[in-house]
Amino acid sequence: MRLRLQAEPFALGAEAQAFAEAQAGAGAVVTFTGLVRDNAGQLSAMEIEHYPGMTEKAIGAMMDQAQARWALEDALVIHRHGRLLPGEAIMMVATAARHRAEAFAAAEFLMDYLKSRAPFWKKEFGADGAEWVAARDADEAALTRW
């Protein structure tokens, strides 16, 4: 169970490989990676603001909950802040469990909570200026299933 908040880019491949190699009892590893979409070339950069202190507390609590609920072997969350370029990875979640249903459910749960309950805010920079990304109703609604 590890959480990393960082301004630096990360390589999802290297992270996923190291995560899987650290598993002994797990038969199933799920990763989710969020990428900066280039929106057909309209986006020049994204900036992510966060709330240091609360971010760690909120994500740590989500991870503890996921671990207990799905008997995870392991979980990893990496989330960037600061300036990102199109195509770069914004964040990733990895989960490991004995069977696939648990690994998938825990990864989706962590994503749903990260989207709407971890204190991050995205701003997109494009040809028409900068704009804060609006929360999607679908993201808030996704929480009701857990």
Partner 1 sequence: MIEVLYFAWLRERIGLPRERVETAAATVADLVAELSAREDRYALAFADLASVRVALDQELSSFDAPLAGVREVAFFPPMTGG
Site for a second copy, rule CB under 8 A: 11-18, 20-21, 23-38, 40, 87, 89, 98-101, 103-104, 107-108, 111, 138, 142
Site residues for partner 1, window 15-74 (CB under 8 A)?
A: 34, 48-51, 53-54, 57-58
What distances in angstroms separate CA 126 from CA 31, 77, 80, 82, one per listed residue?
Answer: 29, 28, 20, 16
User: What CA dihedral angle connects 145, 94, 45 and 134, to 10 degrees?
Assistant: 10
Total residues found in the chain within this entry:
146
**84 forms part of the interface with partner 1 (CB under 8 A):** no
Residues that bind partner 1 (CB under 8 A): 34, 48-51, 53-54, 57-58, 79, 90-91, 100, 111, 114-123, 132-135, 140
